[in-house]
A and B are shown apart, each in its own frame.
Chain A
Amino acid sequence: MSTVRLKKGFDIHLLGEINGQEVAFSAPAKSVAVVPDDFHGVIPRMEKKEGEHVAAGEPLYHDKNYEAIKVVAPVSGTVTEVRRGERRHIDAIVIAPEGNDTVTIDVKGDAMQVLCASGLWAMLRQRPYDVVPVPGVRPRDVFVTAFDSAPLAPDLDVVLGDKRQYIAKGVEVLNKLTDGKVYISIREGQSINAPGAEVNTFVGPHPAGNAGVQAANLAPVGKGDVIWTLDIVTLARIGELFTTGKVSHDTVVAVNGEMVQEPRYVKTVMGADLGTLLKNNLTDVNASRIISGNVLTGVKVEPDGWLRAPYRHITVIPENNKPDEFMGWASINPKRFSIYRTFTTWLGGLKKPVSMDSRIKGGERAIVRTGEYDAMLPMDIYGEFLIKAIISGDIDKMEQLGIYEIAPEDFALAEFADTSKLELQHIVRMGLDKLRAEMS
């Protein structure tokens, strides 16, 4: 048990925070979808066809390379559509909920097999590459984050609710799967009862809640190391599976952001349709950007889209609230938010909640200013040099500069702060995919 203090990073305070911890119940979802892009590294091979019935927890598809890895249906019902995009890429698998039959899994067997079959394996991530872990590889350590530090992020204690009781069991299961330790990182003021895990406290701004950042400050990933990362909610789900034999796909979601009339926690099911979830709660749908996840790492979804699996958060911000802003670069308006002192925002303090829309507010440029990425990344990594190595495709340099330690989400804050407006998360993802292709 130790306390790690991080200085780098920044907490962005946005309008539309949730007051209190009450959880409302959502009306039952009209449709539920699984989006294969949410499980990076898994290449889908369908097990169910359109029109077939699935039970909750029954596999929809498995991975092309590792058949054991299943992605399961969160609810029981009928598969109404397998939506395909370009080159037959599966965009979404839509289920019309019906009935209440749930698969029960025999948990006495090999823990890895059980996890794979239950669909929970696909919710784990491994480093290097930030992908669904390869079965059969024992991780050096497992890192569990018990808090989310992103802008407007939900309090994971609220999301956990009464699932908290399963944490100890979850730790027990993970301990079987690793030769090293199970680390749980909490924030100041949080407490957790997890025998068998090493609990550390993290103090500091976002991205302190990223499991990868925590790992980098506790036991960094070197070449040849494999670690797993997950959050406390997934850990509790694992515990629940091994206690009851069933996976719970219920989830509590924070619905917040400037365009939400009444920001609140809502209990629903993974993959629920946003039409039901956001009904009568947006100020203006057409002027909104709906994000499944937080404003930094989430995915833009359409109003008729779905809550995406990895997220316990829906943020709704204005799409473009100042069209044709005249000479915005010359603005002395203190409301034009910038963390840099080239604007006047800082005079009023940077901790007041602000309104931010989705405009990029500048053109893409070469990297000019120094140290911007490093100030947003509390890891022993030269971010700028790593990004340059990725852009130039220099695999040796990427390795040497520590690409194994990072995931795209770790660069999200730097991407927000970047004066040159580069798509850093995308660049990191390209680099990781390239390296993974090269190494296999």
Chain B
Amino acid sequence: MNKIEPSFRPGGKLAKLESVYDGMETFLFTPNTTSRLGVHIHDGNDLKRTMITVVVALIPALLFGMYNIGYQHYLAIGQPASWLTMWIYGLLAMLPVIVVSYGVGLGIEFISAQIHHKEIQEGFLVTGILIPLIVPINTPLWMTAVATAFAVIFAKEIFGGTGMNIFNVALITRAFLFFAYPSRMSGDEPFVKLDSAFGMGGGTVVDGFSGATPLGQVATTVGDNLSMTNIVGEPISTMDAFIGLIPGSPGETSMIAILLGAALLLLTGIASWRIMCSVFVGGLGMAALAHALPSATYPASMLDPVTQLCLGGFAFGAVFMATDPVTGARTKVGQYIYGLLIGVFAVLIRVYNSGYPEGMMLAILLMNAFAPLIDHCVVSFNIKRRARRAADKVKEG
């Protein structure tokens, strides 16, 4: 590594790749820089470690997501297959999405870092894996590429890069797809992959197939009789939703896998338990309220609260998206409020806005926008307390 260094420094042949070189070097080796001023010892933790821990926390959801893609596929074509076959099918189906997500995102980050002569930062490590997990599997790769590019440039780089963005970058990707190509993002098509992946799988779809997600089915229910089925018409229970063998975006279906990730995030202290818990509390509360006042006009109000939270992207959003420290509230009190409102709004949108069967994405993006305001109010109390203390003293004196 040291041998090839000179060609990357200004004046060298490859000076245009200086940021890339630095990025690779700090990735492979802990920097040898020692402290110049200030404290002489530093904690071993850095942002790379923090980001990697989040990626590790996402692995259960990723692995299960792959398996579920295969499971849904073979269910849809009515062929028996071993779990390994299903998983490999899912792996092959997801691999291109992961490659496109990282390729496009990191490419833009590398170029941007070089333009600004800055070190490449690790923010996209997490975003790059979140995107394949929340984008429906049948989304054309070019759409994913366009959406990722849009999100990285307009939601992150123009704000100043890692740590400066106002909105969660992965969610902006999803929102871009959702609003730019609405027909490809909901209904029957997007969530179950039916064609073959690299020559694997494929076949004739069985009769009575419907690829709609449970939430999609709920939204289109007419009358008082709420029933959810899997893609071949068999009824599904809350337990199925908890385990995750239902159609949906790859990462979001399994509560179990998500809770495993949540456990790691909470244990390592990376995610704020205040946010995570209050999202669930807010969601449960709002769902219970809606369930207490069921109405056929709003079919989702007939779902019981626990099922409500097990379906769709609620849990995934609560664990991995709402807890993004950069875009969330930063004060302790603010985090409770922020989380609670995300939970409430997510269910509110789901139940009372028939246009959007899933509300989590919009709820988090909405609260991202309000997080600085919440913090501002919390900090103002501290400021007022200090001002009052000064004023009291003047009175006494």
Contact = CB atoms under 8 A, between A and B. Distances in A.
Contacts of A369: 50, 270, 325
The secondary structure that dominates the A interface is: loop
Contact of B332 (A224, A330, A371, A424): A371
B220 interface: no
Interface centre among B32, B34, B37, B393 (most CB of A within 10 A): B34
A401 interface: yes
B43 interface: yes
Contacts of B12: none
Contacts of B49: 329-330, 342-343, 362
Interface stretch (B22-30, B287-295, B351-359): B22-30
Contact of B163 (A323, A361, A368): A368
Interface residues on B, range: 35 or more
A380 B379 CA distance: 11
Interface of A: 12, 14, 151, 220, 222-225, 289, 291, 295-298, 300, 315, 317, 319-320, 322-331, 336-343, 345, 356-363, 365-371, 374, 380-382, 384-385, 400-402, 412, 415-421, 423-426
Given A363-B26, A365-B121, 10 more contacts: A297-B39, A322-B30, A345-B44, A356-B41, A359-B35, A360-B33, A382-B331, A416-B42, A418-B43, A419-B45
Contact of B28 (A327, A362, A402): A327
Nearest to A225: B393
Contacts of B379: 382, 385, 401
Contact of B35 (A315, A331, A358, A420): A358
B184 interface: no
Contacts of A319: 34
Interface centre among B33, B44, B162, B325 (most CB of A within 10 A): B44
Contacts of A339: 43, 45
B37 A423 contact: yes
B43 A361 contact: yes
A322 B389 CA distance: 50
B38 A423 contact: yes
B30 A12 contact: no
Contacts of B268: 340-342
Given A400-B387, A419-B50, A366 B164 contact: yes
Nearest to B53: A342
A366 B164 CA distance: 7
A147 B28 CA distance: 43
B43 A325 contact: no
Contact of A340 (B31, B34, B43): B43
Contact of B386 (A222, A296, A326, A385): A222
B395 to A, nearest CB: 12
Contacts of B119: 363
Contact of B50 (A336, A342, A359, A402): A342
Given A223-B390, A341-B267, A370-B272, A426 B32 contact: no
8 contacts: A343-B49, A359-B31, A361-B30, A363-B26, A365-B46, A385-B379, A419-B43, A419-B47
